[in-house]
Amino acid sequence: MKQRTPPAGVHENISVTPGGAPRPDAGPRPQEASPPPPDDAAAARPDRPWRRRFAVWRRNRWLAPLLAGLVVLGAGLAVVEKLPTSYATTSTISFAPRADTLVSADVIELIANKYAVVARASATVHVAAVAADVKPEDLRAGLSVTVEPRTANLDITVSLDDADQAARACNAIASVVDRSVRDDRLVSGEITDRADPAAAERHPPRGMLRLMVVAAALLAAGWAGFVVRQMDRRSGRSS
């Protein structure tokens, strides 16, 4: 008997039962297709891990400026709030020549400098510290005595943590100087401006410092955004 030849490309798969009859499911099996050839472009650009990371970075590149600004803002405001607060009050003593003397303005200025030394004296500081209920060393650290240029005015400024204590100490020093001037034969003195706790200057100026912190945060955010854009451009050229 002549054997049947299967068509080209088809492998004959016929199974036979023990009795010689073919099985019902016997039939030709199609040839399996070979996988498609790899893409040359994909093979030339392997999927590197840094590319995937940078793709995620590009999608969230707005986070860098935001985080930079928030970090600078938070740190700056924390520093500003932790700065110690002091209150500065000022008393002014004005000098003038006595009626029966002829004293020039330069001489009066020299005399005012002499009483500036009296205001800074240890005895004066001790009296004022007792009046204000503060430590003498704290009062001396916050004491400033100056003579206004080309004037006969002596300014006494005290900076302490409490505005009331600063005003009491400042006025006490001014009173000591005023009593000392009473015995002067050339000039007379008068307290023309007494320290007022309500008018005390607060240091440091926190409002201005907060504005400076906000400006620094905006600058940091802008700089971070610029760096991200530069990295984005370089990545585009390298890919």
Q: Tell me: the pLDDT tens digits for 18-62?
A: 555 555 554 555 555 555 555 554 444 555 565 666 566 566 677
CA distance 174 to 152: 15
pLDDT surpasses 70 at 70: yes
Per-residue model confidence (pLDDT) at position 228: 79
Task: Give phi and psi for 73, each to the nearest 5.
Answer: -65, -50
Q: Which residue has the higher pLDDT, 49 or 182?
A: 182
Instruction: Of 100-104, 135-139, 213-217, give the lowest mean pLDDT range.
Output: 100-104
Token look-up 């016997």 returns 26
Per-residue model confidence (pLDDT) at position 204: 82
Nearest C-alpha neighbor of 159 from the set 84, 83, 234: 84
Contact (Cβ atoms closer than 8 angstroms) between residue 164 and residue 197: yes
User: What CATH class has 86-203?
Assistant: alpha beta
Nearest C-alpha neighbor of 203 from the set 172, 237, 165, 161: 161
Write the CB contacts of 24 (distance below 8 Å, at least 6 apart in sequence): none
CA distance 175 to 166: 14
Specify which residues 96 forms β-bridges with: 188
Per residue in 77-118, pLDDT tens?
999 888 888 999 999 999 999 988 888 888 999 999 999 999
Per-residue model confidence (pLDDT) at position 64: 81
CA distance 95 to 153: 6
Stated pTM of the model: 0.60
Contact (Cβ atoms closer than 8 angstroms) between residue 119 and residue 176: yes
Show the DSSP H helices in 142-205 as ranges.
Answer: 163-181
Eight-class DSSP state of 152: S
Domain assignments of the chain as residue spans, ordered by start: 86-203, 205-239
